[in-house]
Amino acid sequence: MNIGIIGGGIIGLSSAYYLMKAGHRVTVINQSDGHESCSTGNAGMIVPSHIIPLASPGMISKGIRWMFNSTSPFYVRPRLSGDLIKWGWEFYRHANKRHVDRTAPALRDISLLSKAMYQELSRALPFDFGYHERGLLMLYQTKETEHEEVEGAAYANKLGIEARVLSSKEVQELEPDVRVTARGGVYYPGDAHITPQVLMHRLMPYLQQQGVNFMPSTSVTDFRVENGKIKTVITSRGELDFDEVVLATGSWSGVMTSKLGISLPMQAGKGYSFTLQNVEKNSRIPSIFLEARVAVTPMGNTLRFGGTMEITGIDHTINMNRVRGIVEAIPTYYPEMKVDMPKKEQIWHGLRPCSPDGLPYIGRSSTISNLVFATGHAMMGLSLGPGTGKLVSEIINQEKTSIDIKPFNPERF
């Protein structure tokens, strides 16, 4: 079949990979050169540990507390927007234990599928994208966070995801080269990490060599629908006809689907990262500084710090106060690491595509028969990319999907 994928982030490229492997003719349309997506400067964590969706108990009260501190990791810009109000209402409705219990197994299954796909990719692709299986350390400073994390570890173990509660001394033993200050931590040995910009920048030319057609700097502006099918995709560089269309436009997906008369609740969750170069004494294992909500990942001899979640719409401004919040958290956990405030031009930002219930949208549209959704992966899109790509290819090939995709139904709201 002739398949058009809109969006060239990790979800679009992963879908292209598996569809190309299945023998289809694939075109990836991306509105920029592909290097500005959310998929390059992120923290690179592959996280089967993350089985609790963003919409979970305690998030509303924490969010409200954080809203009033300009260096805190979370912010929602109050706006009179129908989309934001609907999204906020759905988030509120889902931030409870029942939702977590219902969805955690689905997140586990797609995460494990995706990790298995990463293992395969690390063997199959002709370049090294820094795939390492060293686990993830969740570090905490306070009794309150310890309590939450230990509960989270027990929950993960119950669902078959190994989690070990470590003392401060045991944490330090895992990090021989960096001094760590923490009350303790939870170690998830099954997590992994990659260098995302290497994967993204090398996968594109590789796919091109394999026959995938790329249309960079091309925006999809509209669609022509006939008999319940997308007949034509209208772009800034002409019109294209496809048998199947995959929508992988990340944070822009709500805008895209509105052109098809479909409502897809989506908010962009902006985050920042910066990367230290030539780090002599580097950490070995990715960590999350829990109270500060900062993700830290060693990538070769570099060390990346990422964090914050600003729900401010499609907005590319950089808020230096939030970046300061990340920088100031570092010595609390790594007391010997002195990190200066980076310059604005050294800061990367990305817009996480956030659905209100913390689950991605993966599946076929019931109203437009040749449209497949693959979006809304929020904080886990890198992690879930290859698994999602595999599922997209199974949906289009009308095969039995590797896991149950009902929880990801794009029409659940």
Residue 277 in tokens:
């170069």
Residue with Cβ nearer ligand FAD (4 or 152)? 4
Query: Considering the complex, what minimum distance in angstroms separates the CB of residue 312 from ligand FAD?
Result: 13
Q: CB nearer to ligand FAD: give 51 or 169.
A: 51
Query: What is the smallest separation between the CB atom of 98 and ligand FAD, expressed in angstroms?
Result: 25
Tokens linked to 101: 């219990």
Closer residue to ligand FAD (CB): 8 or 325 = 8
Question: Rounded to an integer, what distance in angstroms lies between the CA atom of residue 128 and that of residue 198?
Answer: 8
Q: Which residues bind ligand FAD (CB under 6 A)?
A: 6-12, 29-32, 34, 37-39, 42-45, 219-220, 248-252, 256, 271-273, 295, 306, 350, 352-353, 375, 377-383
User: Rounded to the nearest whole angstrom, what is the least distance from the CB of residue 273 to ligand FAD in the complex?
Assistant: 5
Instruction: Give Cα 224 to chain centroid, integer Å.
Output: 30
Smallest gap from Cβ 367 to ligand FAD, in A, equals 20
- Shortest approach of ligand FAD to residue 10 CB, angstroms? 5
**What does R_g of the chain's alpha carbons equal in angstroms?**
21
Closer CB to ligand FAD, 107 or 382, in the complex:
382
Nearest residue (CB) to ligand FAD, 144 versus 309: 309
Minimum CB distance to ligand FAD smaller for 167 or for 192: 192
Beta pairing class for 2-6 and 25-29: parallel
- Name every residue whose Cβ is closer than 8 Å to that of residue 50 and which is 6 or more positions away in sequence: 107, 111, 379, 380, 383
Question: How near is the Cβ of 348 to ligand FAD at its closest, in Å?
Answer: 8
Strand 74-76, strand 302-311: pairing = parallel
Q: In sequence order, which residues have a C-beta less than 8 Å from that of residue 378 and are 6 or more positions away? A: 54, 269, 352, 353, 354, 355, 358, 360
Phi, psi (deg, nearest 5) at residue 254? -65, -40
